[in-house]
Amino acid sequence: MFRGFSLARVSIGTRLFVSAVLCSVIILVGAAFVLSAIYRRATERAFDERLQVYIQSVAANISSKNTSNAVDPYGLGDPRFTLPLSGWYWQIRIEGTAPQNVMSSLSLFGGRLPRLEDLHIQAREGSSREGYIIGPDERRLRLVERAIELPDGARYLVQIAGNADEIEQTILSFKKALWTGFALLASALGVTTIFQVRFGLQPLKRLSGQISAIRRGASDHIEGGFPHDIAPVADEINLLIEFNRDILERARTQVGNLAHALKTPLSVMLNEASGQDSLLAEKVREQAGIMRDQVNWHLERARAAARAGVIGVATEVAPTLAGLERTFLKIYAEKSLAIETHCPADLKFRGEKRDLEEMVGNLIDNAAKWARRRILVQTEAVPMIDGRLFLDLIVSDDGPGLPAEKRLDVMRRGQRLDETVPGSGLGLSIVADLASLYGGNLSLDDADGGGLRAVLRLPAL
């Protein structure tokens, strides 16, 4: 059977796990981006600081006009400024003069660095600007520039550029470590979430296990302590089961009381009329008989109604059969019947003892009415392919048997095939009704010795 996906059916465990993992991943990814940004800022700042040191050094040399060294006129002392296209450059523009009045490091190899001011980069603090540019060798450069005004009124723009790859390298290796670390953290969180969910849901799992044990009939109430949040549920279920039993018991008691209240006066009427031959007595006898049948029929219906919805009960079969055997030996003491019962000791019927007695009692009673001297009651467990367990209760007698075409009739309510044998005629139909109420059935066939064999199939435990 295919059922479409519905969020409402997703298990609590899956919900908790998926939501925990999603939240962890979102938070970790966000944190990784924020951390990367912070780290980039810090790295750029540190790089800029280094470039600023060079600017200060250049500025100091400009003001002292100490530019005697042609290779390193401003005494920066870093060979990268002299290597061609090293990615490290300096450049001094003398403001207020023609654009060609520019001095630059040897490494710049005749190229020019653009002005950040022209690229519309705002000064961050004082007269200093920082930013990225594309250098003469098409490399990405980090450029810091600063305007310097000497006391004599000369204005310079000092620019120092460094290879931005250095910044990117540092940030990249940081990012690698960060993402690896966070990935490990995320998977660790995922694994711990599984344990948390399992541990957290364990009481619920225990509760559902106990409920199914009650439904199977293996237990009659929920026991053991539960956490505060689901303890009320367990208590409510226990109360519900108890309530269910109370209602059932009350219904049965009332049915029993009604039976007593009606049948005693009926007995009186029948007996009062039985000694007389008048028309009135005849009428009373006839009507009292009809009333008796009606009372029996409706009591049986009421009992069946009270039976519906019983949960969490199981009955041991062997002691029930033993009780019935004792009873029948006394009831049919005159007939000197041999009743032989076989039953596995641990077999249980999934239902009320009263109902099992009613079904088996009627079967044995029917067998006893027809049997010559022997009744055999066998019980066996019948496992089904779908995993459910049933039991077969087989009652066979050595009586005359029943023709196949009449077998269905006796199981229909109110049918009595032979009016000469005492009994209300409801017996086998009650058994069939009750059995189907429990999801079982009754079938009749020939016994080995020629008598009738009744097979009652019922849910077992």
Contact positions vs other proteins (CB under 8 A): 256, 259-272, 274, 288, 292, 296, 303, 323-324, 326-327, 330-331, 333-334, 353-354, 357-358, 360-362, 365
3-state secondary structure of 62: helix
- Shortest reach from residue 235's CB to other proteins, in Å: 31
Residue 309 carries which DSSP code?
Answer: T
Q: How far apart are CA 386 and CA 115, in angstroms?
A: 85
Quick one: which H or E segment has residue 458? strand 452-459
User: Helices marked H in 217-278 — which ranges?
Assistant: 231-274
Instruction: Considering the complex, state which of residue 333 and residue 385 has its C-beta at the smaller distance from other proteins.
Output: 333
Computed from CA positions of residues 162, 167, 170, 172, in that sequence, does the dihedral angle turn out positive or negative?
negative
β-strand partners of 92: 103, 158
- Shortest reach from residue 390's CB to other proteins, in Å: 22
Token pair 């009372």 is found at 295
Instruction: Considering the complex, state which of residue 29 and residue 268 has its C-beta at the smaller distance from other proteins.
Output: 268
* Residue 29 CB partners (closer than 8 Å, separation 6+): 182
Instruction: Considering the complex, state which of residue 17 and residue 332 has its C-beta at the smaller distance from other proteins.
Output: 332
3-state secondary structure of 91: strand
- Shortest reach from residue 276's CB to other proteins, in Å: 13
- Shortest reach from residue 270's CB to other proteins, in Å: 5
Instruction: Considering the complex, state which of residue 131 and residue 361 has its C-beta at the smaller distance from other proteins.
Output: 361
- Shortest reach from residue 431's CB to other proteins, in Å: 11
- Shortest reach from residue 255's CB to other proteins, in Å: 9
Instruction: Considering the complex, state which of residue 48 and residue 300 has its C-beta at the smaller distance from other proteins.
Output: 300
SS3 content of the chain, % helix, strand, coil (to 5): 50, 15, 30
Instruction: Considering the complex, state which of residue 40 and residue 263 has its C-beta at the smaller distance from other proteins.
Output: 263
Q: Please choose, from the candidates 404, 384, 389, 419, the residue with its C-alpha nearest in 3D space to the C-alpha of residue 452.
A: 404
Instruction: Considering the complex, state which of residue 13 and residue 423 has its C-beta at the smaller distance from other proteins.
Output: 423
- Shortest reach from residue 269's CB to other proteins, in Å: 8
β-strand partners of 392: 380, 457
| Pair 447, 396: CB distance under 8 Å | yes
Instruction: Considering the complex, state which of residue 97 and residue 274 has its C-beta at the smaller distance from other proteins.
Output: 274
- Shortest reach from residue 352's CB to other proteins, in Å: 9
3-state secondary structure of 141: strand
* Residue 349 CB partners (closer than 8 Å, separation 6+): 314, 315, 316, 317, 320, 356, 391, 458, 459, 460, 461
- Shortest reach from residue 334's CB to other proteins, in Å: 6
Instruction: Considering the complex, state which of residue 36 and residue 327 has its C-beta at the smaller distance from other proteins.
Output: 327
Q: For residue 11, which amino acid is it? A: S
